[in-house]
Structure 1
Amino acid sequence: MTHTSGAQTSEQSNKPRFLISDLCAYLESYLSVEHVREVYRSYVFSAEAHEGQKRLSGEPYIYHPLAVARILADIRLDHRCIMAAIMHDVLEDTTVTKAQLAEEFGEEVAALVDGVSKLNQINFPSKAEAQAASFRKMLLAMTQDIRIILIKLADRLHNMRTLEVMRPEKCRRIARETLEIYAPIAHRLGIYRLRTELEELCFAAYWPMRYRALKEAVSTARGNRKEVMSNIDAALVGRLEQEGIVGVVRGREKHLYSIYTKMRDKKRSFSEVVDVYAFRIIVDRLDTCYRVLGVVHNLYKPVPGRFKDYIAIPKANGYQSLHTLLFGPHGLPIEIQIRTVEMDRMADSGIAAHWLYKSSENQSGMAQADASSWLKNLLELQKDAGDSMEFLEHVKVDLFPDEVYVFTPRGKIMVLAKGATVIDFAYAVHSDVGNHTVAARVDRHMVPLRTRLYSGQTVEVITSETANPSAAWLNFVVTGKARANIRGYLKNLRHQEAITLGRRLLNKELAQHELNIDQIPLESLAQLLKDFHLTTKDALLEEIGLGNRMPFLVSRRLVDSAIDLPKGEAVVPSADSAPLAITGTEGMVVRFAKCCRPLPGDEIVAIFNPGKGIVVHRHECRNLGDFRKSDSWLDVKWEAEPAGDFTTEIKVDVGNKRGALASVASAISEMGSNIKNVVMEERDGLTSTLHFIVAVDSRKHLANIMRRLRLLNTVLRIYRVG
């Protein structure tokens, strides 16, 4: 694209240009003459639209979309996708509209071009938010047509190939974005050829010195390996011929970025990574793969625990192969991959194999099913994400799946990200299962919900209709789907609680005039909403519940219009108006101040905290200060029977005797209280102060605990903090 594309290297610029005639000649190898004519027509349209535009290298801009089309032609995509690739920047960089495109080339091509185009017509607070919104638009369009992301990957690949003319900091930014988003998407869709080239180009652009040093080291090492590789290759070919198996043996060279990440992430030396000799054996039938496995295990001894069967249990992107590690001659490690011809095509092209090899429907069908599953997951992430930045965060999490394979009680295989917990598993089964999870069994043993899962385990989730997600789950879940669902639930819960609290606060003020919100005339409410730039009554109540608008002022406006008071006459709240009742269960919009930690039974007041709701303090709290005279002050009281646990802090002075802490903690536990935190502070060598934060249900409960502690011989003094 105009602002993110670079120039070709001087070496490339000396090569003959790839022209439309070259593209058409190449396309004729697999497309009909009529379809090639359509492609040429799209080229003429794009060339006219980009007339006068140049890349940063000074070359005509049309060379870029032509190169993108060539990359997709190598994957043998259909003619409409090639047409969209040639015109992929016309909506973004020219005056052409989507309607014009649709009229000229049809809705399908127009939708493909629009899906790749950025959101230029909207102003965003930051460049990061603009990029996230464009990325979100592209991914959601991709859920309708997977070819959109293939065009974008080809576009990004050509931009990376021609990046050198850019400023170094811009090169690094584009390379980092590509490594974080586009290369992982290519991997997730199983398109090995695009992914590896993107990673190599990003490595060279982001860490140029490391790239050059590693390239030189690998070049030297490979020169010394040729004889060993040749001997192993001959041994493998000879043994296959001896067993009457027809197959192709290929030596595999590791890519530089792959070597670098293994050294970095697994803390291995260069020699440890490079000294592994890698081979791939390609055969004609699936059952022959397992015969070859037996042959190579008989030729060289296998390393225990290093065999992986990705044929029986494919990777999330549809990849299938047998992997084994062997002790070769002189103890040299040999990596072997065994797969069929179809599996090799799938490993190279992934979802694109659907167009590239239409004869192998079973294989491409599997890749399509895996891609469809991922795209369905993207739609769920979109539904629960609050904004584009959050959506991008969830997608990034899901793009790096080192997988674990676990089983449901019925034997179904579930593929999860490495480090996934029981909660991640529950959400992978279904969002409703995750939302109502209360417990789980792993291999028939009860385990905590934060338990990490490992391949081969059988997981059973126990649910309850009354259970709901906890905010604490966000501390340990790893998958984007689980995180998005939990955040979505908590946002909705906060939204509903804010509306409920706002209704109670507003009705409390309106009650002084024998009114409630439902009795306010619709025209009065509509005018108020218009003045406040709000759309619904619930939005107004939420604003009040979150402390963004004072209920007294909203009430005054509504009463003025409802009962038509003389202009300028204020509505003053009566001195004996009933205080708001606190139940203790409004956790998302009612907070209890940590400075004084109020308990049921304490005299309490509250203040508004804009954006968060109301904060409840004890009446004598020293931090209230000037709030006592402000409009944010609110009279509150406890309900007759408040629910839940409330935290409070106590200090206990004890003598320095062995077991003092244990005896105090045991006494607190005996009284039915849970210790949230304890800190021990030594004072003069003879005494220590124990700071406890404990959960109690009322002030009376706390008093009973303190009475029990005073009976202990080690306790010198006890008092409540705040």
Structure 2
Amino acid sequence: MIDVESLVELVRRYNPHSNADLIRDAYAYGAACHKGQFRRSGEAYFVHPVEVAAVLTEVRLDDATIITALLHDTIEDTRATYDDVAARFGDEVAQLVDGVTKLTNLELSSVETEQAENFRKLLMAMSKDLRVLLVKLADRLHNMRTIKALDPAKQQKKARETMDIYAPLAGRMGMQYIRDELEDLSFQVLNPEARLSILRRFARLRSENGDLIPRITDDIGIALDAAGVDAYVSGREKRPYSVWRKMEEKKQGFNQLSDVYGFRIICRDERDVYIALGAVHQRWQAVPGRFKDYISQPKSNGYRSIHTTVSGRDGKRVEVQIRTREMHVVAETGVAAHWSYKDGEKVTNRFAVDPFHWLRGITERLEGPENPDEFLENFKLEMFQDKVFCFSPKGEVIKLPKGATPIDFAYAIHTRLGNSCVGARIDGRRMPLWTRLRNGQQVEILRSEGQTPQASWEDMVVTGRAKSAIRRALRDEHRGSHIKLGREIARVALERLGKKATEKALDTAARQLLLSSADDLLVRLGNGETSSTDLVGVLYPELLKDVPKPDGSEASGRLIGLQPGQSAHNAPCCGPVPGERIVGIMVPGKSVVIHAIDCAKLAEFDDLTEEWLDLRWPADSPKPIYPTRLVLTMANDAGVLGRICTLIGEHHANIVDLEFSDRKADFYRIMVEIMVRDIEHLLNIQTAIEADSDIAEVTRYRDSTSWRSNGQGKPIASPPRP
């Protein structure tokens, strides 16, 4: 535990005129009050208040705040009273300690009316002195640093509360270094495996590239010296939670992130900031779209800095922040800069915002007619920057995740409103449905009874409720077309066996498949949930005995290049077939995965060539059948699809799946999954389809992502004939 003289020395380093005797008295009083009390870890309880005080010395706070930290649990956990503290240390300290006690006893995550009313009273008190929040944040920081002493259930609860309440609160107050540590400590409890995986990735980068940080720091220093800029340069690996959050937001892997390293340039004045920016951009290539000037447009909490991302050493992208020393103090300590001392004098930082500005605005609203629940929702608008709270025209608050659109908003109110949505007015202005909503906006949904959900909506929304409702509506809307397509599939499949798709046959098959009607069977055939093989199998199982079974999933024992005992299966992304060049990728703990040599997925294994196996199809093996997919663009005319299905059947290939996309008045696209023997069989089918005058294009599809025209997956041309 830090002894009293060490604590006094920490304060005197930035405030030589501090009242050392009063700090010593508070230390002795707190130690006496907490005597005989112990923390879950077994250490003396008074260690905690002392550590909280030490945290606050890092932001150079005044004597009253340091003393409050030493006494912040006395009124709550000991026999000390408000009057005792006021008599010994003054009304200022007693009010601060009382404010921290109220905040500790408050269940911040509750939205019940009585808790909302308590929160209102507390914020009214805090609006008189915001240092209550600073002590509470330091208190929570030390509690999170020592959270391992709690049982797992309590660790989860505290970590979740910290992530949801205290970390955003620290960020809103501009205390970024506290927010970063709170988030990372919570992340360690809530998702330890993910955090460990990020740390391992950093360790791997260091082992592969050495320690890039000092080398890049030196490079920046040389560029600044050449430009005549005197500045301090530092670099760091970004915190695991920050990296994880970006991976989740961008849906990218670690290797795809462009800026896992961050560097800061601290200059003497604003003139040098912009000279330094020019030097960095002259030395390295700037990444388009990654430049922000928060000096000309500061954030509401006073944050000022230049942000840019450049392609640095060896092409590594790094983020560079450039600011002055004054700006840096505000960037790290936020509102605490208002109380900071240096050389015994209170620091006047021209960039520090009025610490009461935020709470003053809240206080003004409290004087209005708001009820407690409405007030609490409004407070959340101010505090939670990673969530979106919007208002309906009637004043109802709708809570949505960040990135939500008016379609999410509509479905959050009612499914019928979402299904009939045709547009939106945001703050009175007509805006597109793909607009990302922001905190505090009023959203009015425009609707039409004739409207139905569009397939493109699914890519616009972020909430599970909206996605499921859209999918359900699209299924219902396409039921008729699925029935029509299913009937054609059934006709082709049964005619190949010399049978007819009569209503009685379809009813019988539906009962065998435990479906309620023949139409339900046709829908499942049309949307691909049931294959034509399933239909034939329940009606005429004896006729399937002589039909070769799909055997592309297991290639063990037929491939040249496999070791004894190794099993292999085809990759779903490319679906290789005999006659194509193939390679195998060894997956730890799994069988070998077979890819076609031109499969785009192989790029992911460029750095793992030791996992590659040179494989070949045997020339004299039996001919099993393999699944592969074709994408057809065909005329939207009667009979075209049936003709193509018949054509595929005439080439002795079975259709196992059909999926539509991009339905237009003249043309539409369809993906057909068929079973083929080898590459020659496939190319013969493709050539026959291409010869049809109503087919505009036919390509072989190779991608495991969505194949629709949303830019996420594209068909590629088939390889040339062997």
So what's the TM-score if we normalise by structure 1?
A: 0.51
2:303 alignment partner, SS class = coil
Q: Which residue of the partner structure matches residue 368 of structure 1?
A: 353
Q: Conserved in 1, the CA contact under 8 Å of 2:30 and 2:71?
A: yes
Amino acid corresponding to residue 368 of structure 1 in structure 2: V
Aligned mate of 1:398, from 371, 375, 382: 382
Letter of the 1:88 partner, please give it: H
Q: Residue 323 of structure 1: CA displacement? A: 1.0
Equivalent residue letter for 1:155: D
Does 2:160 align with 1:160? Answer: no
Q: Check conservation: 2:106, 2:119, Cα contact below 8 A.
A: no
1:418 CA displacement: 8.0
Given residue 349 of structure 2, which amino acid in structure 1 is its aligned partner? Answer: S
Matched, 1:106 2:90: yes
CA offsets per residue over residues 348-387 of structure 1, 9 Å max, x none?
1122222335599897354333x43321232245456866
Q: 2:248 aligns with which of 264, 272, 290?
A: 264
Q: 1:335 aligns with which of 303, 306, 319?
A: 319
Cα 1:158–1:122 change in 2 (3 A) is closer
Matched with 1:40 is 24
Q: Which amino acid aligns with 2:77?
A: D
The change in CA–CA distance for 1:196 and 1:120 in structure 2 (over 3 A counts) is: closer
> SS of the counterpart of 2:232?
strand
User: CA offset at residue 284 of structure 1?
Assistant: 0.8
Correspondence for 1:187 among 148, 163, 171: 171
Distance (Å, rounded) in 2 between the aligned partners of 1:441 and 1:133: 30
Residue 295 (structure 1) shift: 1.6
Equivalent position of 1:425 in the other structure:
none
Deviations 1:672-722 (A, max 9, x none): xxxxxxxxxxxxxxxxxxxxxxxxxxxxxxxxxxxxxxxxxxxxxxxxxxx
CA 1:129–1:203: 2 relative to 1, 3 Å: farther
Task: State the match for 1:448 in structure 2.
Answer: 430
Matched, 1:478 2:439: yes
Report the Cα distance in structure 2 between the residues aligned to 1:237 and 1:357, rounded to whole angstroms: 30
Q: Secondary structure at the match of 1:67?
A: helix
| Correspondence for 2:75 among 79, 91, 97 | 91
C-alpha displacement at 1:329, in angstroms? 4.7
Give 1:70 deviation, angstroms.
1.1
Aligned length: 416
Uncovered stretches (5+) of structure 2, i.e. residues with no partner: 389-400, 407-423, 445-722
| Equivalent in the alignment of 1:234 | 218
Is 255-264 or 216-225 further displaced after alignment?
216-225
Distance across 1 between alignment mates of 2:350 and 2:153: 42
Structure 1 residues 51, 132: closer, same or farther in 2, change over 3 A?
farther
Superposition CA RMSD, Å: 4.0
Aligned CA distance change for structure 1 residues 119 and 235 (closer, same or farther; 3 Å): closer
- What is aligned with 1:143? 127
Q: Do the aligned residues in 2 keep the contact of 1:311 with 1:320 (CA within 8 Å)? A: yes
Contact 1:119 1:130 in 2 (8 A): no
Shift of 1:128: 7.1
1:307 pairs with one of 282, 286, 291: 291
In structure 1, distance between residues paired with 2:374 and 2:3: 42
Give the deviation of 1:171 after TM superposition.
Answer: 0.7
Q: Secondary structure at the match of 1:118?
A: helix
Q: Structure 1 residue 453: deviation in Å?
A: 8.1
Per-residue CA deviation, residues 139-173 of structure 1 (Å, 9 max, x unaligned), is 33221111110000011111111111212111111
2:61 counterpart residue number: 77
**Alpha-carbon offset, residue 24 of structure 1:** 2.3
Which residue number corresponds to residue 636 of structure 1? none
CA 1:389–1:61 in structure 2 vs 1: closer, same or farther (change >3 Å)?
farther
- Contact 2:339–2:347 under 8 Å retained in 1: no
Q: Distance between the aligned counterparts of 1:377 and 1:393, measured in 2?
A: 15
Structure-1 separation of matches of 2:192 and 2:404? 35
The CA distance in 1 between the partners of 2:304 and 2:387, in whole Å, is 14
2:189 alignment partner, one of 200, 205, 211: 205
SS of alignment partner, residue 224 of structure 1: helix
Question: Any conservation in 2 of the 1:133–1:388 contact (CA below 8 Å)?
Answer: yes
Q: How does 1:349-428 map to 2 (within 5 A)?
A: 349-357=333-341, 364-369=349-354, 371-380=355-364, 382-383=366-367, 391-401=375-385
Alpha-carbon contact 1:187-1:317 (below 8 Å) kept? no
Matches of 1:242 and 1:75, distance apart in 2:
34
Q: CA, structure 1 residues 286+420, in 2 after alignment: closer, same or farther (shift >3 Å)?
A: farther
Q: Distance in 2 between matches of 1:398 and 1:273?
A: 30
Aligned to 2:38: 54
Q: Which amino acid aligns with 2:439?
A: V
Whole-angstrom distance in 1 between the partners of 2:432 and 2:368: 22
Cα offset, 1:419, TM superposition: 7.1
Indicate if the aligned counterparts of 1:289 and 1:338 stay in contact, CA closer than 8 A.
Answer: yes
Distance in 2 of aligned mates of 1:277 and 1:58: 39
Instruction: Indicate the residue corresponding to 2:269 in structure 1.
Output: 285
Structure 1 residues 278, 101: closer, same or farther in 2, change over 3 A? closer
After superposition, give the CA deviation of every residue in 1:194-250 in whole Å (9 maximum; x if it has no partner): 111111111112212222232222222234343544443333222222222222222
Alpha carbons 1:119, 1:134 under 8 Å: kept = no
Q: Residue 4 of structure 2: which of 17, 20, 28 is its match?
A: 20
Shift of 1:347: 1.2
- Name the TM-score, length of structure 2 as normaliser: 0.51
Are the structure 2 counterparts of residues 71 and 234 from structure 1 closer, same or farther at C-alpha, using a change threshold of 3 Å? closer
Structure 1, residues 87-128: CA drift from partner, whole Å, max 9, x if none? Answer: 111221223222222222211111101111138999999897
Question: CA separation in 2, counterparts of 1:450 and 1:342?
Answer: 42
The 8 Å contact of residues 338 and 347 in structure 2, kept in 1 or not, is answered as: no
**Do the aligned residues in 2 keep the contact of 1:119 with 1:133 (CA within 8 Å)?**
no
1:251 match? 235
Distance 1:122 1:82, change over 3 A: closer
Q: 1:39 to 1:387 in 2, by over 3 A?
A: farther
- C-alpha distance in structure 2 between counterparts of 1:279 and 1:401, whole Å: 24
Structure-2 separation of matches of 1:119 and 1:298: 51
Deviates more, 1:148-157 or 1:296-305: 296-305
Deviation at 1:74, TM superposition (A): 2.0
Flag structure 1 segments of 5+ consecutive residues without an equivalent.
1-16, 405-416, 423-438, 455-475, 487-722
Q: Residue by residue, what CA displacement relative to the aligned partner does 1:482-541 show, whole Å, maximum 9, x if unpaired? A: 79xx9xxxxxxxxxxxxxxxxxxxxxxxxxxxxxxxxxxxxxxxxxxxxxxxxxxxxxxx
Note if contact 1:101-1:110 (Cα within 8 Å) is conserved in structure 2.
Answer: yes
The aligned amino acid for 1:448 is R
Provide the C-alpha distance between the structure 1 equivalents of 2:295 and 2:212, rounded to a whole number of angstroms: 29
- Tell me if the contact between 1:193 and 1:349 (Cα under 8 Å) persists in the aligned partners: yes
- Alpha carbons of 1:32 and 1:128: their partners in 2 closer, same or farther (altered >3 Å)? farther
Q: Which amino acid aligns with 1:43?
A: Y
How is 1:601-680 mapped onto 2 (pairs within 5 angstroms)?
none
Match of 2:101 in 1: 117
Shift of residue 257, structure 1, vs aligned partner: 0.9
Contact 1:76 1:355 survives alignment (8 Å): yes
CA contact (8 A) 2:238 2:261 kept: no
Q: Report the secondary structure of 2:19's partner residue.
A: helix
Q: Indicate conservation of the 8 Å contact 2:111/2:376, yes or no.
A: no
Structure 1 distance, partners of 2:362, 2:293, is 28
Counterpart contact for 2:72–2:100, Cα < 8 Å: yes
**Distance (whole Å) between structure 1 residues aligned to residue 109 and residue 168 of structure 2:** 27
Q: Distance in 2 between matches of 1:296 and 1:250?
A: 14
